[in-house]
Structures are given as structure tokens and as C-alpha cells.
Amino acid sequence: MDATHDPAPADAPATSPRIVVGGALVHRGRVLAARRSAPEAVAGRWEFPGGKAEPGETEAQALERELLEELGVRARALVRLPGAWAVRPGLELRFWAAELLSGEPRALQDHDALRWLGPDELDAVDWIDHDRDVLPHVARLLAGAPAGAADSASAVGDAQSAG
């Protein structure tokens, strides 16, 4: 982009938007939902775990790092899902599909509960609005995922709020 011919508005951030990556972590035909413990604006609502990409990181690297930090699992980012959402000016949310490589997710950071949701259970939790928008893509992802125990949601982690 040529800044000379495409000036940013005066109130825009100095750099391009920072990216937040949310991961639709799929395992045995279900996807992991995580309930946020903070900040207050989103506490108690469900999201796809992830976080902000650090400078120099690819989106895939950022997601894999965040899933290790937040859930204690190794995962592989597979493909970006369509769409992008402005969380706030200068912060853009994108979603990726990811597969679980090893470990059992635990709510170590930012979350106080986790649930695996099957294709018929995607409406079972109170999603953050942006995350609800991407559910049709997640449903398609699950439809193409290897069949697994998708008959019921189960709690896979539960912890007191870590603040």
C-alpha cells in the first residue's frame, strides 16, 4: 500500500490492524468452545480460544501459541475461515480451523469452562456476537470432519476464574 496515495484517517492507528485469531479446534467431530473469565465486557460468554498475533508471527503461529498457553494443548492451524470482524478500531478478529495434535484442553488462562460441541450443539452456548457469525462455517467444518462421538456436549475443563 502506498501511504502517499492512500492516507489513513487522522484517528486511525499508525500501523495496520492488529490481528486476533480465534481457533475452531476440531477433534472427533466436535469443536471446542471456551467461556471467557475476563474482561467484564465478554466474561461469561463463549468464544473460540486464541488471541492477538505478536509482531512477526503468522496467524497460524499465533493461534498455535495461544492454544498452548491457554489450553495446554498442541494444535495445528489448518485453514482460515471466511470473514473478518473489527473487535475495536485497530483490532481485527479472524478465525481459523485447527486440529488437536496432543493433550487434553484445560482452562489455564482467560477461560473458566470448556465444552466440546457437536454439529447439533453449536447453539448451546452464549457465544460472543462475532463468534456466532462464524458458526455456519464451523458447522460445515464439522460436517466434513471425521465422524466421532458427536452425540452430546461434555465439559472438558472447569476451573475457578483465574481473574
Q: Does 153 bind ligand 8DG (CB under 6 A)?
A: no
The strand pairing partners of 35, in sequence order, are 46, 113
> Least distance to ligand 8DG from the beta carbon of 67, Å?
10
CB of 147 to ligand 8DG, least distance (A): 26
Stretch that binds ligand 8DG, among 48-56, 71-79, 100-108, 135-143 (CB under 6 A): 48-56
Q: Which of 52, 65, 76, 137 binds ligand 8DG (CB under 6 A)?
A: 52
Burial class (CB in 10 A: 0-12, 13-18, 19+), 132: middle
Is 48 a binding residue for ligand 8DG by CB under 6 A? The answer is yes
**Interface region with ligand 8DG, contact rule CB under 6 A, candidates 10-18, 47-55, 73-81, 114-122:** 47-55
Q: Which of 98, 125, 131, 145 binds ligand 8DG (CB under 6 A)?
A: 131
Question: How far, in Å, CA of 140 to CA of 138, rounded?
Answer: 5
Site string for ligand 8DG, 89-128 (x = CB under 6 A): ----x----------------x-----------------x
Q: Taking a C-beta distance cutoff of 8 angstroms, is the pair 35, 46 a contact? A: yes
Binding site for ligand 8DG (CB under 6 A): 20, 22, 42, 47-48, 50-52, 87, 93, 110, 128, 130-131
